[in-house]
Structure 1
Amino acid sequence: MFSMVPHSGGAQDAPVRVRLEGVRGVERRNVMATLSIALSGSERVVTESRVQRLHSRAPGEINLALQPFGYYRTRVQSDLRYERDVWVASYAVDPGPRITVSLVDIEIIGEGREQEAFKRTIESFPLAVGDPLVHAGYEMGKIRLINTASELGYLDARFERRELRVDLESYTAEVDLVYDTGPRFNFGPITFDAAIVDPDLLRSSVGFRQGEPFSVTPLLELQSTLGDSPYFSRVEVIPRRDLADGLEVPVEVHLVPRKRQRYEFGVGYGTNTGPRGSLEVEFRRLNRRGHRSGAQVSASFIERRVSGRYVIPLTSTRSGVFSVAAGYARLTPTTSSSDVLLASATVGQSRGHWQETIALTFQLEDFVVGSDTGKANLLMPSLSWSLTDADDRLFPTRGGRIHMEVLGAVRGLGSNASFGTVKLSGKLIGSLSAGTRVLGRLDLGGTVTSQLRELPPSIRFFTGGDQSVRGYEFRSLGPVDEFGNVIGGQTLVVASLELDQRIIRRWGVAGFVDVGN
């Protein structure tokens, strides 16, 4: 290491500017975060004696800052000058070669030594023989072992030996870990502190039983399930390792109830609907069995709706509900008009990460679409599955959604027309940088029928509008009749690619390409 410090003719108190050459990326950021003289740059004035003291420490600090990336033979040329009322500290860094890993020896002992999860964790250890030594990889590998043990219920697991040996003569590094899993713990009794709903309803949300091997995953799932329910505003699921009876860990669930009623009023404007307004009321807890109900009224230039529902939780299945609903709608987009009365019964439940819905809907619809007029009576069974995964509910930067639905009706079985429809929709979201997202969307559909013009517009496929092919009027794209009126079709293909940039809070700009018909 070489350093130059000029003699100044008297005390010179001034700001400090640091120049760093020879390192880039994460290594550069770590050096700048470690350099004491760089951290002093936030001060308006630094004394000459302090600048020289910090400058003399800089080569050693640079060396230490690069060691976590495997650089142990770093050379630094340093220079400190007083220029134009500013101290300029310059450092030219030659990191030198990186140490390579010559040995990775990881041994699991204890009851869990034969667990496949530990074997997979070892196989995916971030460092392998021949790799450059990166300390973060070593630490991440240890964390993965700890997380695996916690996930499998080995709560007393600990490292019997954890060594990262660096040999500067051979310029190699060795990883030597011995991890003792200890005994495997089981779930103990679970207790809830809320008395607002029946215990059986709460227990139906629990995905584990007393005596089963302890795992963090079902605890997180329980917290998510209860948190997503309409009954509680805050949920805490706490494994009480300190109260363990032998190898059984009791679980406490602390619940804060929501308000029993919710009222919501909204006004807005949409390119599809024009001015619009809505009023909704929800009764979250009608009794201790968790029954709930709600009603909604909405109106716009093209749509008026009123609907109500009654929901009954199913204690026989996890997160299952049975609901009945009824409603009326008057729909008047430019291509059609309809008066719709409907009633439905629905059973919804979770299957793994998927949400499954089985429904039976009876629909009466008086309609005019193009030159077609009619009255549709449809008794429609349907089955749908949906899956949603996102890192944030309000502004996701990573995630996706997929929805599949099958429905139909048979003439003579409560219906005056026959058809079968399959729908598939999906959306993917990815992040390019902070606030910049890429969104892809695909909607597919197909209907099998020989009586398309006897089906109401609610069953036919249309495109156009701000949730479909943007730049076209709502439901203005589709096959036409002999008079040129859009009457909807039997198949649907819509695709979209969008790039959006968040500007401030919930405001942003977007560019998109939509295609479909």
Structure 2
Amino acid sequence: MRRAARPNGSSRFIARRLWALLALACATSAQARIQIDIPDVTPAIETNVRAFLSLTRYADRDDVTPETMSRLERRIGAETREALQPLGYYEPEVSYEVTQDGDDWRVTIHVRPGRPVRLSEVDIRVTGPGRDLRVLREIIDAQELKPGLRLNHGTYERVKGNLLRAAKNAGYLDAQLTESELLIDRIERRATATIVLDTGERFHYGEITIAQDVINDDAMRRMLRMEPGDPYTLDSLLRTQYVLDDSLYFSSVDIESGEPDRDQRTVPVTISAEPNRKHRFTTSIGYGSDTRMRGRFGWDNRRVNASGHRSKVELIGSSILKQLGGRYVIPVMDVALEKLEFTAAVTEEELGDTLSERAEVGAGLTEALGRWQRVLFLRLSHEQTTAPQVDPQTRQPTGMLETKEDFYLIPGISYSTLPSYVVGGRIRPYYFYAELRGSPSTLGSDASFLQLRLLGERIFDLSDLWHLHLRGEIGVSRVADFSELPASQRFFAGGERSVRGFGLNELSPKVDNKSVGGRHLATGTIELVRDLPRNFGVAAFYDFGNAFDDFSDPGLEYSAGLGVRYRIAVASFGIDVAQALSESGRSPRFHLYISTQF
């Protein structure tokens, strides 16, 4: 008996491919999609309607049959009307059209919202010991709910949630809404909203248990942002977490709140920490538009002893800066914010067209004064300045370089605002820094000078997405003979955090067309930022400024540009491209942007 011949491997492969193609063609022809259009409505209405529609859940399915579509179609009117009620529209006119094109469906929903229900009476009250808490007053004073506004259920629920959450975050763990009522009169198109929050008693920190053997217990407790008896707040917990992580003493920190004692109204806290590596070696190499090739090597001893002392040695090299420096830090009082610091460095630095070669030792005491930080410092400097020579009689350049070597003793004091994420409270929209320093010849310096430097920044929130960032810097020097001012103490402008579009330290008075630095400084920035999704943003900016010798003739330079921003918790990073406007023929320059939270 003859048997039918079996297909060979090639035939089986072709058969399988044909069946696959046929199945794919059938599946493709069977796929049906639903396109939903809701024209001429606000984004809020469109979003809500799409969320309520059963059609939305079927929009990308491929098994929508005419029977299924008929069932979904019957729900459109009721679901659309229901979607408009949370937005205050209780009598909308809804119509729709359903068309079929092959296996695809198109649904067009027409909505006329009608007259909305408006709030006629609003009663928001806080009772209990925490009724005067500032954060609660701010929520009420924001007037998200007030007579005359269109009723919005989402806003009503948000205000309730914000009040309750703020009270609990401030330590009122038993806070509750004793009244929460929204009465709606559809005929009169008005609504009455009532919210009453009772804060209850405030809870405080109970026993704080610390499990770590990295530094001594006294130094550890001086880093905490709370102590037993203080109000139990989310803000103090977060600040403690940040300070301990930022100290670099620990590789991990866990802060755990125990079960509240409702009789004593206390909350115990346990803090566990694991040691970080004691020694840390870092190397980096990179390229900058101002510094060109640059490299860095560092050695950190994060824990010299159990008291938390630390030391650092760093070697920096680039085309404009070569430096070998070291520092020794002794924490005092508030370990996170206050310290006694000793420094030493040997530096060779190009500043404009001058060369500064100096050996320095110094000491500084950093203190926290409320929301401010004060630094008292003293620096001893032996500096050699090389700059274009000026004839003392004619005040004209000689075409030669002049080297001047001097000793300076420079005491000074500075004040600056502390970051909000360290001191707590509301995020501050501004930053301020002031420094006064000088070198008196009466104490052994080879020359006398006095300098004042002021720096301020302010962010204005124009809306949720648009922000205006203003920045200004002023520097003033008092010195009898400018040539006696060492290069490191002269003012220069240009580069990042100054006048972008110009090179680093490029702007200053010139001798023989070379930048030699100025007595005074003035720079400013106007920047408009637009937030984008995923923490990105774009910026347009205008910079101006210069270093100069006379306020009557500052010779300001100007530039403008665009930038890209990326935000993380306490800082922003980005890249800017800037074009000089006051000098023609210049090419755009790229700058790195780094800014920390105020």
**Residues in 2 aligned to 1:434 and 1:110: alpha-carbon distance in whole angstroms:** 33
- Following TM superposition, by how much is the alpha carbon of 1:247 offset from its aligned partner in structure 2, in angstroms? 1.3
**1:8: which partner in 2?**
none
Q: Which residue of 2 aligns with 1:323?
A: 341
**2:563 aligned to which of 500, 505, 509:** 500
Amino acid at match of 1:492: L
Q: Which residue matches 2:210? A: 192
CA contact (8 A) 1:37 1:54 kept: yes
Q: Is this contact kept in 1: 2:352–2:507, CA < 8 A?
A: no
Alignment of 1:132-171 (within 5 A): 132-171=150-189
1:512 to 575, 578, 589: 578
Q: Structure 1: where are the runs of 5+ without partners?
A: 1-10, 392-397
| Structure 1 residue 385: Cα displacement | 3.0
Percent sequence identity is: 30
- Picking from 202, 207, 211, the partner of 2:229 is 211
Offset at residue 502 of structure 1 (A): 5.7
Shift of 1:27: 2.3
CA distance in 2, matches of 1:485, 1:351: 43
Match of 2:397 in 1: none
Pick from 475, 478, 498: which aligns with 1:448? Answer: 478
5 Å matches for 1:116-515? 118-119=136-137, 121-243=139-261, 246-315=264-333, 319-333=337-351, 335-371=353-389, 372-387=402-417, 401-427=431-457, 440-481=470-511, 483-497=512-526, 498=541, 499-501=562-564, 510-512=576-578
Structure 1 residue 495: Cα displacement: 2.7
1:20 to 38, 51, 68: 38
Q: Structure 2 CA distance, aligned partners of 1:439 and 1:45?
A: 53
Cα deviation digits, residues 412-452 of structure 1 (max 9, x gap): 21312111111223456789999998765433211111132
Measured in 2, the distance between the counterparts of 1:211 and 1:509 equals 47
Provide the C-alpha distance between the structure 1 equivalents of 2:263 and 2:217, rounded to a whole number of angstroms. 23
TM-score, normalised by the number of residues in structure 1:
0.87
Equivalent position SS for 2:106:
strand
Q: Which residue number in structure 2 is paired with residue 394 of structure 1?
A: none
Report the counterpart of residue 7 of structure 1 in structure 2.
Answer: none
Give the 3 Å change call, closer, same or farther, for CA 118–476 of structure 1 in structure 2.
Answer: closer
Q: Is the 8 A contact 1:376 1:455 kept in 2?
A: no
Deviation at 1:463, TM superposition (A): 2.2
TM-aligned CA deviation for residue 455 of structure 1: 1.3
CA gap of 1:514–1:146, structure 2 versus 1, over 3 A, is farther
**Structure 1 pair 496/161, CA: closer, same or farther in 2 (3 Å)?**
closer
- 274 and 433 in structure 1: CA distance in 2 versus 1, 3 angstrom threshold: farther
Structure 1 residues 496 and 246: alpha-carbon distance in aligned structure 2, compared to 1, 3 A threshold: closer
| Deviation of the 1:345 alpha carbon | 0.9
Match of 1:88 in 2: 106
RMSD: 3.3
Relative to structure 1, is the Cα distance of residues 431 and 273 closer, same or farther in structure 2, using a 3 angstrom cutoff?
Answer: farther
Letter matched to residue 454 of structure 1: E
**Deviations 1:358-383, CA, capped at 9 Å, x for gaps:** 21111110111221431221211222
Shift of 1:514: 6.1
Instruction: Say if 2:164 and 2:177, in contact at 8 Å, map to a contact too.
Output: no
Q: 1:166 to 1:52 in 2, by over 3 A?
A: same
1:220 counterpart SS class: helix
Distance in 2 separating the partners of 1:413 and 1:115: 53
Go from structure 1 to structure 2 and tell me whether the alpha carbon gap of 1:320 and 1:67 turns closer, same or farther (over 3 Å shift). same
**1:284-336 CA-partner distances (Å, limit 9, x unpaired):** 11221111111111112222110011111113676211111101011245611
Instruction: Spell out the pairing of 1:5-16 with structure 2 (5 A cutoff).
Output: 14-16=32-34
Aligned partners of 2:43 and 2:330: how far apart in 1?
Answer: 56
